[in-house]
């Protein structure tokens, strides 16, 4: 009997203890969900790259300046000035004093070293996540020549950009454009090429004839463009490295224009005006074999391939107004994707394949905009007297376009804008500039 009572008492005590515990207990750790954050430039620091001698110190300073300009120019990063540094980096191999960089709110730190041997330049760098106290990725080293310093700096910036954002950079790329000099009624145009930031401009043609709409090949080694050299618009292809060109085959009495490479680099899609009608065609770059894609009485032009080469987006006035359409790359039925008020033109497929940039004219103003490939989520990024001719950066994050000011003395210039609509900024060129074509990343 006593034994039974003892067991009963023990059970009661255990039961009460369990009840008390279950009343106050929470299932697992505390859980919260965060859905609101901030969008602001990420502060970073890039001290001058460490050098072992005075001659190399000059290059170290130049490298850090180009890298900082690249990153800050995206609008995604904000440079912390050197005068705010607490402990400048004097030894590339020394441990990082994270507390000193945290104190100035540097969230990313780029530390590097440069050595010069004759004309040979060696650049090493590391990227640190300051608040995590860890390195982002591994250290990298580039070797080149001293005259290629800017390209090496762009490559470092591309690596930093990629490690922080998770997507490819676009700094080691070039832009082909039409350089313009003179008033509107006597404007001289010539093809030019430059770094993405406007540095290192080189002219590819003279200003004897009008040239239009250069377009890079997928590998970046060739350019398509339209020239009035023969009195009619004709398509030319140019080897950028050798600056040699040749005219693509075109029937007599026709006008061919608006060319663009297919992703395979072997085919060109373009507009051909014949007998008062303009339709789309493809043509082999080497064999000249031409295929007709459209046969409507309306004007079809400004074609652009999807990155996988299966579809083509183009503009057409078949509905009575200029709108955007998508059709199979081999031709066939097209579906309209733009339905907003105004006129749409010059569509360009994003390198990512998910968006289409376009020019829109509405209420007397021109806009650069983006939309999904089904026409949804249209967003106008710019607005001015004349904006046109968008071109995608290699990573599909930035768009470069032409902006022309009003009046007889109006000047055409290049601008870039993030696809979110932020960071609208001019691209500095020595003269007027239009029709940009952004190359892929250089190899």
CA-CA distance, 233 to 244, in Å (whole number)? 19
Residue with Cβ nearer another protein (35 or 287)? 35
Residue with Cβ nearer another protein (69 or 383)? 383
Distance, CA of 370 to chain centre: 13
Span 357-376, contacts to another protein by CB under 8 A: 367, 369
DSSP symbol at 101: H
Residue with Cβ nearer another protein (21 or 286)? 21
Cβ contact 112:139 at 8 Å? no
From 61, 343, 424, 442, residue interacting with another protein (rule: CB under 8 A)? 424
Least distance between another protein and beta carbon 220 (Å): 23
CA-CA distance, 228 to 251, in Å (whole number)? 15
CA angle (355 as vertex; 378, 345 as ends), nearest 5: 65
Cβ contact 115:56 at 8 Å? yes
Q: Counting contacts by CB under 8 A, is residue 7 touching another protein?
A: no
Span 166-205, contacts to another protein by CB under 8 A: 166-167
The span of 20-28, 84-92, 189-197, 432-440 binding another protein (CB under 8 A) equals 20-28
Q: Counting contacts by CB under 8 A, is residue 91 touching another protein?
A: no
Q: What are phi and psi of 195, to 5 degrees?
A: -65, 165
Least distance between another protein and beta carbon 75 (Å): 8
CA-CA distance, 155 to 171, in Å (whole number)? 7
Helix-helix angle 54-73:149-165, to 10 degrees: 50
Residue with Cβ nearer another protein (21 or 443)? 21
DSSP symbol at 86: S
Cβ contact 64:49 at 8 Å? yes
CA-CA distance, 184 to 182, in Å (whole number)? 7
Q: What is the CA radius of gyration of the chain?
A: 29
The span of 127-135, 268-276, 291-299, 302-310 binding another protein (CB under 8 A) equals 127-135
Q: Counting contacts by CB under 8 A, is residue 132 touching another protein?
A: yes
Token pair, residue 22, equals 């279950």
The span of 31-39, 53-61, 110-118, 183-191 binding another protein (CB under 8 A) equals 31-39
Q: Counting contacts by CB under 8 A, is residue 299 touching another protein?
A: no
Least distance between another protein and beta carbon 172 (Å): 18
Residue with Cβ nearer another protein (320 or 364)? 364
- Binding residues vs another protein (CB under 8 A): 18, 21-22, 24-42, 75-78, 102, 107, 129, 131-133, 136, 164-167, 352, 354, 367, 369, 379-384, 397, 417, 420-422, 424
């Amino acid at each position: 009997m006593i034994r039974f009572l003892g067991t009963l008492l023990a059970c009661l005590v255990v039961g009460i203890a369990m009840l008390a515990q279950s009343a106050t207990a929470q299932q697992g750790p505390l859980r919260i969900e965060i859905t609101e954050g901030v969008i602001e430039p990420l502060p970073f620091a890039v001290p001058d790259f460490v050098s072992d001698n005075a001659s190399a110190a000059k290059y170290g300073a130049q490298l850090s300046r180009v890298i900082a300009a690249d990153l800050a120019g995206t609008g995604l990063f904000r440079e912390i000035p050197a005068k705010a540094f607490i402990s400048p980096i004097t030894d590339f191999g020394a441990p990082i004093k994270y507390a000193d960089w945290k104190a100035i709110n540097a969230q990313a730190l780029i530390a590097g070293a440069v050595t010069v041997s004759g004309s040979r330049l060696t650049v090493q760098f590391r990227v640190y996540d300051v608040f995590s106290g860890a390195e982002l990725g591994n250290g990298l080293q580039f070797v080149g020549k001293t005259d290629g310093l800017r390209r090496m700096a762009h490559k470092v910036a591309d690596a930093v950009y990629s490690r922080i954002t998770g997507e490819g950079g676009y700094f080691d790329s070039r832009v082909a454009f039409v350089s313009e000099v003179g008033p509107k009624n006597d404007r001289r145009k010539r093809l030019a090429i430059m770094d993405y930031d406007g540095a290192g401009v080189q002219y590819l043609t003279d200003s004897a004839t009008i040239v239009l709409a250069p377009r890079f090949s997928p590998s970046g080694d060739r350019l398509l463009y339209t020239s009035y050299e023969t009195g009619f618009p004709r398509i030319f292809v140019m080897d950028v490295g050798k600056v040699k060109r040749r005219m693509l085959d075109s029937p007599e009495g026709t006008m061919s224009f608006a060319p663009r490479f297919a992703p395979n680099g072997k085919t060109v899609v373009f507009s051909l005006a014949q007998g008062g009608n303009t339709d789309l065609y493809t043509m082999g770059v080497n064999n000249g074999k031409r295929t007709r894609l459209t046969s409507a009485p309306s004007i079809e032009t400004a074609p652009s391939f999807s990155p996988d080469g299966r579809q083509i987006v183009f503009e057409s006035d078949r509905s009575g107004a200029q709108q955007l359409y998508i059709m199979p790359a081999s031709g066939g039925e097209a579906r309209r994707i733009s339905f907003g008020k105004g006129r749409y033109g010059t569509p360009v497929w994003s390198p990512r394949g998910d968006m289409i940039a376009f020019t829109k004219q509405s209420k007397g103003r021109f806009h650069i905009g983006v939309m999904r490939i089904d026409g949804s989520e249209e967003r106008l990024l710019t607005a001015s007297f004349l904006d046109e001719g968008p071109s995608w950066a290699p990573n599909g994050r930035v768009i470069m376009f032409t902006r022309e000011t009003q009046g007889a003395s109006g000047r055409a210039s290049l601008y870039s804008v993030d696809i979110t609509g932020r960071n609208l900024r001019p691209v500095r060129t020595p003269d007027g500039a239009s029709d940009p074509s952004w190359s892929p990343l250089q190899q």
